[in-house]
Structure 1
């Protein structure tokens, strides 16, 4: 049963990467062109949009890779190891990086909201940083719990 659930999670991790790749290929160039049209006085804004959104895909895919590795550790019964703690630590740092990149781009959402007179756009710009920080906090909590479980396990192994 355990192999089936980890297989399902591995497939889910792979499928999470597909829409982000599609967004990077199709939506980001459209957003960059829209930014250039809406703000012609800021010609460089097109490149900022490209860099910020495509650069945030790198830590996203690295975090997905680390999640895949973590699932492999679970399959090999190495879930309670320092390798799992390191994978969670990397996922945490990736989530923080994504959040920082999107917070740096958040003023662009404010500019778009001013140009289109749509204040809801500002809140849309906060979705990704907020979700990334939630993932970072969750990974940090799991990392701490896993460290404590490893310590308790090693203490129990020494008392026998």
Structure 2
């Protein structure tokens, strides 16, 4: 009886420490949205893909879509040359980012994506927020177990 009680107590106390719930991911999305501002829309869809819409005057210009587990959170950095936050695919997933450019009507597969920051936005905050979003998303995916999901092809 004591063993069962102790085991139940440990699971209740320690169990939540290793999991990421929807609220953690929502907080990370909120942080990254406020760091990048209204020129971007960030979401994680049902397929656990990070979807980033780049807007100009409220209209979509580009959309980057990537399975969040394929990103390398340690590769997120500020590129002074491009004046943008740069994110990259993990080594094992070469060109994991689908970048749709609406005015060209094309989808390009690439290994990195740059997200230009508007003048005056703090660069460190954007980098930390993006890393946090990737880590939270990857933790949620890992928490789902070994469930397999279909990876649909986008328009080519």
**Both proteins in one fold, TM over 0.5:** no
Question: Could you tell me the TM-score, scaled by structure 2's length?
Answer: 0.31
TM-score, normalisation: structure 1: 0.31
Higher helix share: 1
Please identify the structure whose Cα radius of gyration is greater.
1
